[in-house]
Amino acid sequence: MQYPNQLYPKFLLAGTLLAAVTLPVHAQQNKSYPPSTFPDRIVLGYKGSPANSQAVNWRTDSTVTTAVAAIHEADPSPDFPAKARTVQAATHKVVLDGKTVHYHEANFGDLKPATQYVYRVGDGKSWSEWFHFKTASDKPEPVSFLYFGDAQNDIRSLWSRAVRGAFTTLPKARLMIHAGDLINNSNADYQWGEWFEAGGWINGMVPNLATPGNHEYFRDEKRNLFVSKHWKPQFALPENGPEGLSETAYYIDYQGIRFISLDSQAAILDSTTLKKQAAWFEQIATNNPNRWTVVFHHHPIYSTKNGRDNDEWREKMEPLYKKHKVDIVLQGHDHTYGRGLNIPVGQSRKKPNGPIYVVSVSGPKMYDIGLQNWMDRAASNTQLYQVITVDQNRLSFKAFTVNGDLYDAFDLNKDKNGVNTLVELSNTLKMRERLDLPEHYLKTFKEEDLKEYNQRYQDYKKRKGVK
């Protein structure tokens, strides 16, 4: 039996903490990233209100024991440095593989809303370049931000084109959201070095909101589970989450949107943590003054890969998403693209009774696509990034391939009662759905898998009315 390439399947299960597929090794060597007295890995984040504060993190070697940052309102004149305000940074020691490095964090407070600032970081002698950022408005205004699925592998080599392409598409992005598995091995310094090299100076200008995936976690010699030793020292994230999940579960309010990060890895591996996190979510979702709610976490509520099913996670969280009218859930983990909602086949999808679910991948590690009934648009073997714009009455979503081609699009229009209407735009796009099997599966598929996938593929086309 012969099938076109887009019908080749391979159903491989992936464990919670270990990758299931071994990818081909690309022609690059692991590059070391030794620290020095000069600041590197500069990244913006938040510890307080985005309208009145901005935090920044950076790294140096262990000889730098006193770190500072300087800030001033952005000025087209080069005369501002002498007038810049100096802020003392907190220093955190991190020991990995017997080597000590210092991470530094400065929090700029008492800032004006909707104002552009210029800043630099250093020790008073060795300084970074000056970076610009803009504070959030203190009232609802349109917001555009970027969302990335897993970067994880070949970060410097291949994920770099995703983050750089995204910034090129949306140079006025106000935030970047990462849905977990930023790297492959939680404590591998060279992988974090690749991640920071790929993002480069973009990280110093656009704040990052990251949520951990399974690859950000590790177990110690006693089998206790911990988030990466790099995570808290190198990212400035809110500390308003449930106890024990500081800087992995958190929320911020930004110009009429509540962004909520959930730590799905911790929840999936421990039912007590799941219940605690669900209770915390219900509390902050109940007391939410914002018109829009965006949730992001690593493990999907509905998987895009056949054989994966985060059922306990879904059964606990989806009813809460519906109850509290979450608008969109941004996810990763499955290394394919899927976008849709939980409405039975045959019913109108114009009035969602729950959030829009998106699973995406920005790095090069690829799985096969499941083509489940919840999906309205899917992609296999495709690196993507997403551009989302939210104003008072509309959420506009666009997914781009790393070539810069528009691959998926929809709008959510919110009426005066807070009810959403889905406006499907993918059917107006020129680009066909990319459902070809990744090349590394071609050597491992089985005939029975082909037959099963072919039937699901035909059912998927029939449901969508595609010949």
Task: List pLDDT tens digits, range 114-172.
Answer: 999 999 999 999 999 999 999 999 999 999 999 999 999 999 999 999 999 999 999 99
Distances (CA, A) of 367 to 8, 42, 363, 364, 396: 12, 32, 12, 10, 27
Q: Report, as an integer, the average pLDDT of 385-392.
A: 98
Give the fold, CATH level 3, of 5-29+141-464.
Answer: Purple Acid Phosphatase; chain A, domain 2 (3.60.21)
Instruction: Answer with the residue of higher pLDDT: 7 or 111.
Output: 111
pLDDT of residue 450: 77
pLDDT of residue 42: 98
| Residue pair 235/250 in contact by the 8 Å Cβ criterion | no
Question: For residue 278, what are its two tokens?
Answer: 């669900």
> For every residue of 207-273, which 3-state class applies, written as one string?
CEEECCCHHHEEECCCCCEEECCCHHHHCCCCCCCCCCCCCCCEEEEECCEEEEECCHHHHHHCHHH
3-state SS, residue 347 = coil
Q: Is the pLDDT of residue 20 over 60?
A: no
Sorted by where each begins, the domain ranges of the chain are 5-29+141-464, 40-134
Least confident residue range of 244-253, 346-355, 402-411: 346-355
In which element (H, E) is residue 189 found?
helix 189-199
Confidence of residue 30 (pLDDT cuts 50, 70, 90): low
Confidence of residue 192 (pLDDT cuts 50, 70, 90): very high
Instruction: Output DSSP code: residue 434.
Output: -
pLDDT of residue 29: 52
pLDDT of residue 1: 32
Domain 40-134 architecture = Sandwich (2.60)
pLDDT of residue 110: 97
pLDDT of residue 3: 35
pLDDT of residue 456: 82
Tell me the average pLDDT of the chain: 92
3-state SS, residue 134 = strand
Q: Is the pLDDT of residue 396 over 50?
A: yes
Q: Is the pLDDT of residue 61 over 80?
A: yes
Euclidean distance between CA atoms 400 and 386, whole angstroms: 6
Least confident residue range of 222-226, 322-326, 327-331: 222-226
Q: Report, as an integer, the average pLDDT of 167-183.
A: 98
The radius of gyration of the chain's CA atoms, rounded to the nearest angstrom, is 22
Q: Is the pLDDT of residue 346 over 90?
A: no
Euclidean distance between CA atoms 196 and 202, whole angstroms: 9
Q: Is the pLDDT of residue 307 over 90?
A: no
Nearest to 92 by CA among 194, 226, 236: 236
Nearest to 380 by CA among 308, 298, 457, 448: 457
**Cβ count within 10 A of residue 129:** 10
Instruction: Output DSSP code: residue 127.
Output: B
Least confident residue range of 66-70, 247-251, 422-426, 461-465: 461-465
Q: Report, as an integer, the average pLDDT of 308-323.
A: 96
Confidence of residue 458 (pLDDT cuts 50, 70, 90): confident
